[in-house]
Amino acid sequence: MASVQDVFDMAIHLMDAQNESTGATRTTDTNEYALRTPNILNTLLDQVYPYSDTYPDLSDGTKTRPSLVSVTSLDDYLDLDDYICRNVLSYGLAGLLLTEENPTQANFFWQTYLENLNTAKSRLPSSGIESVEDVYGGGGGDNYLSRWGGIEYGWFGQW
């Protein structure tokens, strides 16, 4: 579980806005970013939460949409997995912090955010194996219709 400060630090380093000699992310130049960070992250939390491994399983028929508690400071913790915090939120935060200041760099970070969010979506574990209904009535016997999914003369097709 990462803190808002951790995501902020990663975003500042991505933006190359840290102190050049100490690497500190909380400087007079980044104070405005620090003030905006909690509210910006709150706009992203509902987008990323369903793709975190901390998202609850709703297979019990629950109709309530789960959500995270809003963050209010850099000291708050995010109930999200490490991939979301490091590879998704940090890029989204960097992109939104730079929207006015550097639109080209902001667009790069935002596109990376979207790509990493899609990666997080694709890596979700499946909810199980479901049986497939035989709608063609092949029945599983050893005749030519069942072997080719109920398509007569299917062996002539170019598969």
| Residue type present at position 27 | T
Q: Residue 142: its pLDDT value, please?
A: 54
Q: What is the pLDDT of residue 57?
A: 76
| Residue 31 DSSP class | H
Task: Give domain status of residue 80, yes or no.
Answer: yes
CB 63 within 8 A of CB 38: no
Given this model, what pLDDT does residue 58 score? Answer: 72
In the chain, the number of structural domains is 1
> How many residues would you count in the chain?
159
Q: Is residue 142 part of a domain?
A: no
Rounded Cα–Cα distance for residues 67 and 13 (Å): 28
| Within a domain: 137 | no
Under-70 pLDDT residues of the chain: 60-64, 125-159
Residue 77: strand, helix, or coil: strand
Measured CA to CA, the distance from residue 66 to residue 69 in angstroms comes to 10
**CA-wise closest residue to 8 among 24, 21, 20:** 24
Residue 113 counted as domain residue: yes
Residue 2 located in a structural domain:
no
The whole-number pLDDT of residue 124 equals 75
Q: What value, to the nearest 5°, has the Cα angle with vertex 73 and ends 47 and 27? A: 110
Asked whether residue 4 is domain-assigned, the answer is no
Instruction: Tell me whether residue 158 is in a domain.
Output: no
* pLDDT (0 to 100) of residue 71: 96
- Predicted confidence at residue 154, as pLDDT, reads 56
3-state DSSP call for residue 79? coil
Dist CA 26 CA 4 (whole Å): 13
- Which residue type does 63 have? K
Q: Which domain holds residue 93?
A: 31-56+67-123
What SS3 class is residue 26? coil
Nearest to 49 by CA among 102, 92, 104, 109: 92
CA atoms within 13 A on the CB side of 87: 13
